[in-house]
Amino acid sequence: MDLSEPPPAELTDRSPASGAEQRALQIVILGLTITSSWGNGHATTYRSLVRGLARRGHSVLFLEHDKPWYRAHRDLAHPPYGETRLYRSIEELMDRWRPAIRDADLVLVGSYVPEGIAVGRLVQRTARGATAFYDIDTPVTLASLAAGRCEYLEPELIRGFDLYLSFTGGPVLRELEQRFGAHAAAPLYCSADPEDCRADSSAALQWDLGYIGTYSEDRQPAVARLLCAPARAWPEGRFVLAGSLYPPDLAWPENCARIEHLPPDRHPQFYAAQRFTLNVTRAEMVRRGFSPSVRLFEAALCGTPAISDHWPGIETFFRPDEEILVARTADELLGYLRNMPDAQRRVIGARARARVLAGHTGAHRAAELERYARRVLRAPARARQAAVA
């Protein structure tokens, strides 16, 4: 079975009635978090995906481990799509939700789920339908597996899932199959939704360049090179960084404002106040490539052009110089900020928005996931793994 085939026409229709001739699926997702976007990029992705699935008529139960750091920073405690339930332990998960896991058409386990190995084993022992691992951190996962220190996944579990869905595309998909024994690896990239991210041409511009990103040690050198260095070299410029978990002893340029945490419902206002937005990629994702950030899609829907560091495969998502700008050095980035005419800047933002609307919304991801699941479910249970190989 080739999971990389384009979806049938009916699966690209974003209306809830799309594919209505087929039975609605019962889907259980065990993910890191959907209720809190604090310090993570998972919540935004799950919200978009679950909303898309619900609009296609599917029943979705999202199970989240109730962790105190998310409990203290919940910005969507009760998502208005699907059903969200919290659990405090593996024992509670087994006692309360084993029947739902057993009877679902598809059970999806996400990366970085607390006690993820135990959760994956429970799912593989219990589920009668299709099972999938959704890796929102694929390059980091593979590096951790290679080092023998991945806390949420192990090679044996990979071989036990029917599907391995990856935030990263390109050559890594074949590596997952050939090196780690995944039965079928396919991309399921992040997404953004137009109802959440709208262009606002009337907004007053406050900053020349803005950036949203949680602190990551391996990403910080690029933040220093593409945000801090340009800010120091151009004192008249206005810069801003929004994100949590940054060490308190980091020194920021005087013309770079800081916002500790920005919930998703304030992202559109934030993007609208920037002339350009910055995208900085984690080191392992740069090395592997084909790992677009959800921030790229959000900014594009808001009509704000992005300046990104370079990574392999970026051109498969946005055309450089037409839909996205690429900077490797502070001087290149400053060239865009200082020299690009405003009309050209707006054209790039509009083209990027059209690109996301055509292929990178939550509706598109929901259709892709449905297609993958139905192809697995069409195979007899005992032949399923051979069918998706």
Q: What is the pLDDT of residues 193-237, one digit of tens each?
A: 999 998 777 789 999 999 999 999 999 999 999 999 999 999 999
CA-nearest of 6, 102, 17 to 61 is 102
189 pLDDT higher than 80: yes
Query: H/E element holding 146?
Result: helix 138-147
Question: Is the alpha carbon torsion for 351, 352, 355, 361 positive or negative?
Answer: negative
Contact at 8 Å (CB) between 109 and 298?
Answer: no
374 pLDDT higher than 60: yes
Per the document, the length of the chain is 389
Angstrom distance (rounded) from CA 35 to CA 29: 13
Q: For 70-99, what is the mean pLDDT?
A: 96
Contact at 8 Å (CB) between 78 and 84?
Answer: yes
Q: How many CB atoms lie within 10 A of CB 219?
A: 19
Model pLDDT, residue 70: 95
> Of 366 and 8, which is predicted with more confidence?
366
Torsion angle, CA of 10/15/21/24, rounded to 10 degrees? 110
- The one-character DSSP state at 25 is P
What single letter denotes the amino acid at residue 61?
Answer: L
Assigned token pair, 225: 């090179």
Model pLDDT, residue 306: 98
pTM equals 0.89
Give the distance between the most distant pair of CA atoms in the chain. Answer: 66
Instruction: For residue 381, name the pLDDT band (cuts at 50, 70, 90).
Output: low
389 pLDDT higher than 50: no
3-class DSSP assignment, residue 214: coil
176 pLDDT higher than 80: yes
Q: For 263-268, what is the mean pLDDT?
A: 92
379 pLDDT higher than 90: no
Model pLDDT, residue 19: 42
Angstrom distance (rounded) from CA 38 to CA 243: 9
Beta strands 256-259 and 274-279, pairing class: unpaired
Angstrom distance (rounded) from CA 31 to CA 311: 27
Give 25-59 pLDDT, tens digit per residue.
999 999 999 999 998 989 999 999 999 999 999 99
Model pLDDT, residue 9: 36
Q: For 105-118, what is the mean pLDDT?
A: 98
Model pLDDT, residue 61: 98
**Arithmetic mean of pLDDT over the chain:** 92
In what order do the strands lie in the sheet containing 207-212? 256-259, 239-242, 207-212, 274-279, 306-308, 325-326
17 pLDDT higher than 50: no
Model pLDDT, residue 2: 53
Query: H/E element holding 165?
Result: strand 163-166
Residue that the structure tokens 């999938």 belong to: 132
Angstrom distance (rounded) from CA 83 to CA 106: 15
CA-nearest of 234, 244, 174, 182 to 208 is 234
Q: Which of 203-217, 260-274, 373-387 has the lowest mean pLDDT?
A: 373-387
Are 9-191+362-388 and 207-359 equal in CATH topology? Answer: yes
1 pLDDT higher than 50: no
Decide which of 3.40.50.720, 3.40.50.620, 3.40.50.2300, 3.40.50.2000 is the CATH code for 207-359. Answer: 3.40.50.2000
Q: For 266-287, what is the mean pLDDT?
A: 95
Q: For the chain, which residues make up each domain, given as ranges?
A: 9-191+362-388, 207-359
Instruction: For residue 358, name the pLDDT band (cuts at 50, 70, 90).
Output: very high
Decide which of 3.40.50.2000, 3.40.50.150, 3.40.50.300, 3.40.50.800 is the CATH code for 9-191+362-388. Answer: 3.40.50.2000
What single letter denotes the amino acid at residue 245?
Answer: L
Contact at 8 Å (CB) between 307 and 279?
Answer: yes
Model pLDDT, residue 12: 35
Q: Which of 43-47, 61-65, 78-82, 259-263 has the lowest mean pLDDT?
A: 259-263
Model pLDDT, residue 202: 75
Assigned token pair, 204: 């007053």
Model pLDDT, residue 206: 96
Angstrom distance (rounded) from CA 367 to CA 54: 11
Residues 331-365: b if buried by 16+ CB within 10 A, e if exposed: eebbebbeebeeeebbebbebbbebbbeebbbbbb
